[in-house]
Structures are given as C-alpha cells and as structure tokens.
Structure 1
Amino acid sequence: MVSSPDESGVHALPESSGSTVSYGVTGRVATIVLDRPDQGNAMTLELVTDLVDALDRADADDEVAAVVLTGRGRQFCLGADLGEGFHHGGREPHPRHVAFIERFGEINGVPRDAGGVVTLRIAAMLKPIIAAVNGAAVGGGASMLLPCDIRVVGQSSRVGFVFGRRGMLTESASSWFLPRIVGISQAAEWVLTGRLIGADELLRGGLAGHVVADDQILAKAYELASEIADNTSAIATGLSRQLLWSMLSASSPWDAHGVESVGVYDLPSRADVQEGVASFLEKRDAAFPLRVPRDYPDYGPRWPARPEGDVSTS
C-alpha cells in the first residue's frame, strides 16, 4: 500500500490487512501497525514474525526514508499474550514454537527470546524508526520502544517494565538498552519496582522524547518522520543511526573516529554531499538522489553483530 499525504499533509494509518501487523507507505514514510486491537496488541509468535517481516520490508525499500511504529486501538502493546504460553525445557513444544525456532534459531542452546528477536531487529534498522505510543506499553511492548530512535507518547500513555511482577527477569535485551538510554539508577528503579510510568516521568527520565495530547500522537510522529524524509540524506541518516547506536558500547572514541574518517573521505565524492552543498549555496531545498539500502557503503556499520553460536537466520 503506497499513497501520498492528503491535502493537509496528514498521514493515515494503513487499513487492517487481516494480519497481526499492518503495513503501509505514504510518501517516503512507512507505517507499521501492531494490529490485534481486541487483545491490546499483545505479542504472539505470529505477531513477532509478522513484525520482523514488516521491518525487513521497510529496510529493504529504497524509497522508505523513515518508519513510524504504533499500535491500533487503545493500547500500543500489552506485552506477551500469556494465553499462548511459553516454550521451556519441561514442556513439549507446540508446532508454532517449532516454526519460530526454525525461523529465528537458538542462542546459548535455547530458543531465542521472542521479544529480543524484535528489539534486535529494530536495532539493526538502517532507517530511523519513531515509536508513536498510544495507551499502554508494558513488558515486551515497553522493551520494543527502547531501540527506536525517537519516542512520542500521549499524555495518558503508560509504560511498564513489569517483568518482576510476573516472576520473569528482564527480557527483550532491555537490560542492555534501558540503562544506556535513561541511566542505570533510573533503569533500576523502573525495572525493580515494575510499576507503570506516566508520560511526564518518561519525559523527565529521558525515555520519551515528546509528550503530546493523546489525539496528537500520530501527528507528531509523522511530523518528525517527514522532517527526516524530506530534509536529510538517506545515506547520511543511515550511517549516523548505525554509528550512534553501535558506538554506545565501543571501547574508545577512536572506534568512531575510524569509521567517520572513512566517511568524511568518501562521501564528498558521492552525489548526496554534492547536492547538499549545491542546494545550500543556491538557497533551495535539497533533492538527495542516493537511497538506502541500495547505496549504503560497505564501511558502514551493520549493528548489532551476531555472536558466535547464534544460529538464527533472521
């Protein structure tokens, strides 16, 4: 589904596709919608698989410059659908668990955590991704927000890292992401209490980038996505996104300096820098011709790197 913004510039959510995740593109902005509204968009293995497929689709589309992720209905995502149950060592695997393991593999000799499959796929995006958080985002739904680049929440939105209240440890790689975003003390308080966190506290704590009226969540997310898509080079944005995230765990600023030096040497010979300079001198809007992934350079980071022993195929 590809369309243009209406006369007012407003983007609309793609229609429900009958899948657990719906996908659409307006202009150069892709929208990914968690689409189980009657279940609060709770995560099933099917939803996780459909979400990874949608993220793959957006990342592979040269004409997509930014992505908005949201939930249909009253909630963003209420975490794992507990009705589906878990696969563990003492339980005969259901066929859907078997299919999930065949698709995404194992790590440390056990099936990969489904929430971590999502967060690590979001982390690997070459396109900036903006979370538009309607209603509640808890458990895996809260963790899903962490590798997004910008988070817009409504005034009544609530986020909860409720794992301890369900007898579960942190999951979805949230123990890596959350302290790096909000700091260890804030992360520890939110995780160890497992309480729901309101919009103002999310903003103070640094998890939310914007708090808006509930009916303005999508409008703000699309405003930010369009600002990226309309005004920036896809190559520059893809490289910068990957550098910002990958350098969080680099051992030295020299790691960043090495990649950036290659880019500073290489990119001026490419069309986007030439267009950026020309448009500035000519006092006009830039029309950057390069696209991602088509023109993403070989020296650009591809983060996060999979560890040895991870047999996943996606």
Structure 2
Amino acid sequence: MEFLLNEDRLALAETVRDYLAGTHGPDVLRRLDAGDNRDPAIWQGLVNMGLTGLLVPEEFGGLGLGFVDAALIARECGRACLAEPLVDTAFVAVPWLLSQGDTAQMAAIVSGTAKPSVAHRINPWVSDGDGAALDSIDPLRNLTRPVGTSSSDPLLLDLGALMSAAQLVGLAEAMLDQSAAYAKIRTQFGQPIGAFQAVKHQLATAAVAIEFAKPVVWRAAQALSDGLVSAPVHISHAKVAASDAAIQMAETAIQVHGAMGYTYEVDLHFWMKRSWALSGAWGSRAFHLKRIDDAVIGGGLEIGPDQTFA
C-alpha cells in the first residue's frame, strides 16, 4: 500500500506556495487589512493557475482533480494566510454543488467571475457572501449573515471541516517558521534565545504535533475521495488534530516572541487570528470529539489492526 504523496501533487502544491510567497507576504496582508481586504490581481493570479477549477470536472473547463490535491493547496492557503476566498469557493462550494447536481455556475467559477458561498447550519456566517456584514476575529475574513435557508447536509459540513483542517496545518507551519526564525535573531544574555533548551523544547513539541496532524488530514481527504462510510470520523479526527496543533503552535509562538507577539506590529497576529477563527469554524472541538466518540465507543467504526488500513 502506497502512503506517500505523489510527485505531481507535491509539485503543484510547491508551485502554489511559491506564487503565494511572492504575491501574498506580510506586507500585502497589512495593505489588505488597511483597505478592503481583497485584491483583484491576487484573485486573477489564482484563476490563471487553474485553482478555481481544481475540483471542477474537465467537461466544464476545470482540472478535475481530487480532495487530496485540494487539501494540499488549502494547506498552502493557510501557510500564506490567504485573504481571497479560494478555499470556501473552489474546495467547499464546488464539490457540494456538484453533489447536488448543480453545474450551472461551474464555467463561471473556473473563470473566476463567480464566487459561490454556501451556508451550513453549524455556521452562523458565510465567507464573501451577500447579506449583513459580521465581525470576525480575523480582519481578513469578510463574513456575512447567510441569506435564505442554510443547508444541514453532512457532506457540506465534512467539506468545510476538512478544508479548515488543511488550512490549520499550513497556518501552524507558518507560525513555526516565524518563531524559529525569530529565535535565531532575538538575543538574551549574549546569545540567541533559540540556544536555550526551554525554547528548543517548546518549538520541538509544537513541531511534533504538526507532523502528527498532517497524515491525519491527508487520510481524511483520501477517505472522502474514496467515499468511505468512515470518512466523517476521519474528518473529525483531522479537524481536532489540526486545530490542536495550530492552537498549540500559536501559544508557543507567543511564548517565543514574548509579550510583543500580541501586538499589531508583529506579523504573527494574522496567522494566530486565522487559526482561532478556523478552529471554531465548521464544528467546534467538542462537536468533532463527540462524532469520534459516537463512532468508536458507539460501535459505528470498526477498530483494530485488521481495520486500520482497510
């Protein structure tokens, strides 16, 4: 059984990472925060790369790729703290609309002219939708109160939770990189603080949590792609693992940066706020832990060595 991500998937993700690193750095985040939070040029760049059509079938002009590919790209969106609603539109709304047999907007989504927002009852908001504006802890999220009836479809919930988990992995990785870089240049008692075991151990512990969350997220994406009955449980596991890793990393980053880590002057706050926001989106930690408990303890999920890789 092959557990490694193939080279094509990794190459696509790396291309997206390079693009976002060059077009969506901290200076851009600050510019967006001071303006209207959106930049048409950045969105057009995502369109030109084909990312808006990543999950759109080829017959409608898309790339026709799968959920593992989308999760890898969502991770990069988290790493860059992407302001544009690519994940909500292309990786959550698109597959759900397709599941409903709604293909009317697919061509417009691929071209970037349509940015559908879908509402689930578990969330009191939609991203970049029509309706009354809502405040978010994350200044780069444009949230609105849903217009009309929100769906209770469990597939929509699973899509949102999975893609949030993937973004949380990227957010955590970015905060780890920022904290490690800061620990190398911040000096105390005549040496970089990264030389102290207390700092090393905190960063190492957070790094382990991130590494443990990654395969859980990729497994959940594959389970959803394969249509496994157990996919919702794997997605809940991914949401909990990724949320815990991101929150732990955010707390560690604050410790490494000191009190200044809370201030607006330090770039870190953008990633922390996105982590806090996504950790509570598409189901709280308690909600997803209950789904896991109900499946494992309730007997709905077969467990044991003969079932693990079935």
Q: Higher helix proportion, which one?
A: 2
TM-score by length of 2: 0.32
TM-score by length of 1: 0.32
Q: Higher strand proportion, which one?
A: 1
